[in-house]
A and B are shown apart, each in its own frame.
Chain A
Amino acid sequence: MLSIVELDFGTPRSRSAQPVALTIDGREVSVPAGTSVLRAASEAGIAIPRLCATELLEAFGSCRLCLVEIEGRKGYPASCTTPVEAGMKVTTQSAQLQKIRRGVMELYLSDHASGDEALPTEMRRMIEAVGVREVRYGFDGANHRQAVRDESNPYFRFDPAACIVCSRCVRACDEQQGTLALTIEGRGFDSRVVASQDEGFMQSECVSCGACVQACPTTALTEKSLLAQGPAQSSTVTTCAYCGVGCSFRAEMRGEELVRMVPNKDGHANHGHSCVKGRFAIGYATHADRILKPMIRARIGDAWREVSWQEAIAHTASEFRRIQAQHGRDSIGGITSSRCTNEETYLVQKLVRAGFGNNNVDTCARVCHSPTGYGLKQTLGESAGTQDFDSVMQADVIFVIGANPTDAHPVFASQMKRRLRQGAKLIVADPRRIDLVRTPHVQADFHLCLRPGTNVALLTSLAHVIVGEGLVAEEFVRARCETDSFAKWRAFAAEPRHSPEAMESVTGVPAADVRAAARLYATGGNAAIYYGLGVTEHSQGSTAVMAIANLAMATANIGREGVGVNPLRGQNNVQGSCDMGSFPHEFPGYRHVGDAAVRASFEQAWGVALQAEPGLRIPNMFEAALDGEFRGLYIEGEDIVQSDPNTQHVTAALMAMECVVVQDLFLNETAKFAHVFLPGSTFLEKDGTFINAERRISRVRRVMRPKSGHADWEITQLLSNAMGYPMEYAHPSAIMDEIARLTPTFRGVDYAKLDRLGSIQWPCNEDAPEGTPTMHVHEFVRGKGRFMLTEYVPSTEKVNAKYPLILTTGRILSQYNVGAQTRRTENSRWHGEDRLEIHPQDAEDRGITDDDWVGIESRAGQTVLRATISARMPPGVVYTTFHFPFSGANVITTDNSDWATNCPEYKVTAVQITRVTQPSDWQQRYRAFSDRQHALLGEAGANAG
């Protein structure tokens, strides 16, 4: 149900280019072939009453309200299921039609509890539209008005008394979400909506995406926030702050109070769909844990003291300048985050480069997709994915490797599943049997269940088959790629040691499956690769990315719709934070700091001399801190203690520093080691832009004032000014204007154009004024595509008798990254703790049963989690998530990292598992330390002044 009424054309838009002319109520109308009469009328401004139709779903034809008269046809066809025809003459209003519609509506009303009168439902509008004033049938007959409500879901309720069984919710679950959790049980009068096997929403397979709630034309499915707060007074389009899909939402507001988030039908990334995080998990924004006043302290064992913004900023600037005076210009740095807007990350890197006078700036993409930046730049010439999300609808073969879209990128996963249900083939390469391998109406053609750490071996063996069986797209390669690098790569890939048969003992994947999958990828039509952190977070992450690009180039699966190399970014602004020059070796637009011409352009614009040498990466900062060479750090929006590997190494480095400044919403794990806390703002409290996984720049719009008094970009600006480097931006749009002036791929971007177009995929410049949905169409960004050799180098993290299992880590649908946001919402009802998933045989060998506490020991450390026995794990591999700090998942991950970028090898840690009865030593120390830090926070107010 929509409380702010949006125009809905009733049925989906036809993509046909063939126009069809017809007459509706005497008006000449022309629409694309395949358009329904209902939509044709709606586009012409003629409203036909309907209840079961919405443009988000295929026409269904059940409610019988949208009947029309068509000249030359018998009866009263449903306009939603009747496609237009040339010369058709349609009448939408007549006495007879009015009589039929009124009769239908009266029947609905005779068995319908009207629900909350204050909510402007579609049902109410239709009652008005058909002019029902009384119900001739009365209300005393058999009815469902006493049906029991299902209040089990924390975010919405189901009231069957208000349900008209129009099936919109069921169809939304099928068509939009693809979970098929809802169904109509029974027939005729007994028919009713049930979740799964009538288990109630919370216990069912429902993933709480909210599609059913949005689709419902009555109050049967309604958000609890809407019931509690009443209808919104206004709505503003903004962009979700969770994953890299970057869904567009309308934030519905009452004054400065958020009523709910509604997915935007016009959103280019999500087309009106959403997931449980973006749609519902917003409670953190107003959570009591938020810190709203700046705080400082001399040592991490001291109590915090609340201070004014002026004092906090002056203190920070003074400390940074003192450290630089004592230990050199390079002794401080900054870390920005993919959770920040582009404008914020741009300012942080500018502060570091121009204000601090060094290049010690990095971002959390260091620990996720930095290999994507490196690998795609080397091969294709640009550090970004090649397609838009809609491209998947043209794919014939979808190859998912090291990604779990149904959990980590749920809205795009729904689109992918839609294409798979239409018949596209699916190859999944993953150690785990992820949901995509077998989910309703989707089954992978191949599940290449490889051993963790062997991606490169698998990808190179796929290349071996393509080269060896004559599947190379010779003409494309000749025209588009480097001759020398291709010849070298072809000879390399053809070596017998790379054959699937030779690699089977390494990867564990049957050679026949590898050969068949390679043939399918190379010859199955449009083939698209989608990958995630299961590719990048390895010691050979960059090599694997280059191996993927090699496959796409060799088979000509790049440069058009339906194909390509598609990195699925974890956080909302991973792409943007990288684009904005957050890496220590690159200015915005991925240009090396050693490039004199580029550096000169920034020096001229910023009015200072800039360093020509790369700065420290995040892990280098830790090493330098332990060496005493790095003593001050400004961290905006990132929690390195929880998210970076080898926690004890990270905390030792932070404790070696003299001034750690954390700018965040909460006292996160890193803030417990900080000396200055600057309260940040949520995405609802500021203006800016995010860039999603498809290079799509979308606006973030402020719908309430910053609760701490300043938006994050303003805080960075205050700090810069206090440090003596002036910044005078009046609004984030001015920051974007500067980005556009200095970055060729953003030259055509400004807020006015974003407002006009809704979103823009970069590059956006003179050559592509409205953006670039598909890259590398005529030539690669670097000119000729470059093939790279991809030798498999086994991880040094090996199993042995002491550590016989491999631990791999990942995400789950209901929680997000370090959980700082989602743990402070009702989402924890689905996932209240991190669990260790273990294969039944491995569990039995160790006497472990479901829910047992198990100790996990690696070469780096120990922690304790509860066990979940799961047949989706292969023997020898265990898995956990890292959403809860007490879990200590990164206490056990190691310092191993990608050779090119130092992206940590989260996906391969040798461990042993044993049954235990108490938390690990680290967990006990953590709990005591954390409790102490919260106590010190509690004293902050009392120490104010």
Chain B
Amino acid sequence: MTMQQHDAAAALVKMANDIADYFRSEPQRELAVEGIANHIARYWEPRMRKKILAYQAEHGGEGLNELARAAIARLAQRQGPSA
């Protein structure tokens, strides 16, 4: 990974964590995970989604908070094995 690609991944990690922080106060964890996944699906351009999924797969979600990791795993699940 080049430095530039690393920076791009860092920006996506921060964005995902920020979204997850909003949903942190949701008392039902399932709703929080679904909410984060839906938000990313609804507002992120496909290349960005692909990158965060790849980042999670390659780096084990390093730097992502727990809810964000769960939501990205949910997105990966939705997209199936080809994602």
Residues of A within 8 A of B (CB): 330, 359-360, 488, 492, 539-540, 542-543, 584-585, 592, 594, 613-617, 620, 623-624, 626-627, 629, 789, 791, 793, 895, 897, 899-902
Contacts A895-B11, A899-B18, A902-B15 given; does A629 touch B25 at CB 8 Å: no
A539 proximity list for chain B (CB < 8 A): 18
User: Contact at B8–A627, with CB atoms within 8 Å?
Assistant: yes
User: Contact at B26–A789, with CB atoms within 8 Å?
Assistant: yes
B46 at interface, CB cutoff 8 A? yes
Given contacts A626-B8, A897-B18, A900-B39, 12 further A-B contacts (CB under 8 A): A330-B45, A542-B22, A585-B43, A592-B42, A594-B42, A613-B46, A614-B45, A617-B45, A623-B8, A627-B5, A791-B21, A902-B15
With A and B bound together, what is the CA distance between A629 and B58 in angstroms? 21
Across the interface, B47 reaches (CB within 8 A) one of A592, A624, A899, namely A624
With A and B bound together, what is the CA distance between A488 and B28 in angstroms? 11
Across the interface, A791 reaches (CB within 8 A) one of B11, B22, B39, B44, namely B22
B44 proximity list for chain A (CB < 8 A): 614
A594 proximity list for chain B (CB < 8 A): 42
User: Contact at B47–A629, with CB atoms within 8 Å?
Assistant: yes
Interface set, chain B 8-64, CB cutoff 8 A to A: 8, 11, 15, 18-19, 21-22, 24-27, 39, 42-48
User: Contact at A899–B45, with CB atoms within 8 Å?
Assistant: no
Across the interface, A623 reaches (CB within 8 A) one of B11, B21, B25, namely B11
With A and B bound together, what is the CA distance between A902 and B26 in angstroms? 21
A895 proximity list for chain B (CB < 8 A): 11
The secondary-structure label for the interface of chain A is: loop
B66 at interface, CB cutoff 8 A? no
User: Contact at A492–B43, with CB atoms within 8 Å?
Assistant: no
Q: Closest CB-CB distance, A609 to chain B, in whole Å?
A: 16
B25 proximity list for chain A (CB < 8 A): 492, 789, 791
User: Contact at B18–A614, with CB atoms within 8 Å?
Assistant: no
Which range contains the number of B residues in contact with the other chain?
20 to 34
Q: Closest CB-CB distance, B22 to chain A, in whole Å?
A: 5
Contacts A789-B26, A902-B15 given; does A585 touch B42 at CB 8 Å: yes
With A and B bound together, what is the CA distance between A488 and B32 in angstroms? 14
B79 at interface, CB cutoff 8 A? no
19 contacts between A and B (CB under 8 A): A542-B22, A543-B22, A585-B42, A592-B42, A614-B43, A616-B45, A616-B48, A620-B48, A627-B4, A627-B5, A789-B25, A791-B21, A791-B24, A793-B24, A895-B11, A899-B18, A899-B21, A899-B22, A900-B43
Contacts A594-B42, A613-B45, A627-B4 given; does A900 touch B11 at CB 8 Å: no
B21 proximity list for chain A (CB < 8 A): 791, 793, 899
Contacts A488-B27, A492-B25 given; does A899 touch B43 at CB 8 Å: no
Across the interface, A900 reaches (CB within 8 A) one of B7, B19, B27, B48, namely B19
Q: Which residue of chain B lies nearest to A491 when distances are taken between CB atoms in the complex?
A: B27
Q: Closest CB-CB distance, B83 to chain A, in whole Å?
A: 14
The 9 closest A-B pairs by CB, nearest first: A791-B25, A899-B18, A793-B21, A789-B25, A616-B45, A613-B46, A899-B22, A627-B8, A899-B19
A791 proximity list for chain B (CB < 8 A): 21-22, 24-25
With A and B bound together, what is the CA distance between A354 and B25 in angstroms? 40
B45 proximity list for chain A (CB < 8 A): 330, 359-360, 584, 613-617, 620
B24 proximity list for chain A (CB < 8 A): 791, 793
A623 proximity list for chain B (CB < 8 A): 8, 11
Q: Closest CB-CB distance, A623 to chain B, in whole Å?
A: 5
Q: Closest CB-CB distance, A912 to chain B, in whole Å?
A: 24
A793 proximity list for chain B (CB < 8 A): 21-22, 24
Q: Closest CB-CB distance, A798 to chain B, in whole Å?
A: 15
With A and B bound together, what is the CA distance between A488 and B25 in angstroms? 11
With A and B bound together, what is the CA distance between A901 and B5 in angstroms? 22
A492 proximity list for chain B (CB < 8 A): 25
With A and B bound together, what is the CA distance between A769 and B2 in angstroms? 58
Q: Closest CB-CB distance, A504 to chain B, in whole Å?
A: 20
Q: Which residue of chain A lies nearest to B51 when distances are taken between CB atoms in the complex?
A: A627
User: Contact at A900–B42, with CB atoms within 8 Å?
Assistant: no
With A and B bound together, what is the CA distance between A793 and B11 in angstroms? 18
B19 proximity list for chain A (CB < 8 A): 899-900
Q: Closest CB-CB distance, A591 to chain B, in whole Å?
A: 12
With A and B bound together, what is the CA distance between A899 and B7 in angstroms? 18
With A and B bound together, what is the CA distance between A623 and B45 in angstroms? 12
B27 proximity list for chain A (CB < 8 A): 488
Q: Closest CB-CB distance, B58 to chain A, in whole Å?
A: 16
With A and B bound together, what is the CA distance between A613 and B45 in angstroms? 7
With A and B bound together, what is the CA distance between A158 and B8 in angstroms? 59
Q: Which residue of chain A lies nearest to B16 when distances are taken between CB atoms in the complex?
A: A899
A360 proximity list for chain B (CB < 8 A): 45
Q: Which residue of chain B lies nearest to A626 when distances are taken between CB atoms in the complex?
A: B4
With A and B bound together, what is the CA distance between A492 and B47 in angstroms? 36
B4 proximity list for chain A (CB < 8 A): 626-627
User: Contact at A330–B47, with CB atoms within 8 Å?
Assistant: yes
With A and B bound together, what is the CA distance between A627 and B51 in angstroms? 12
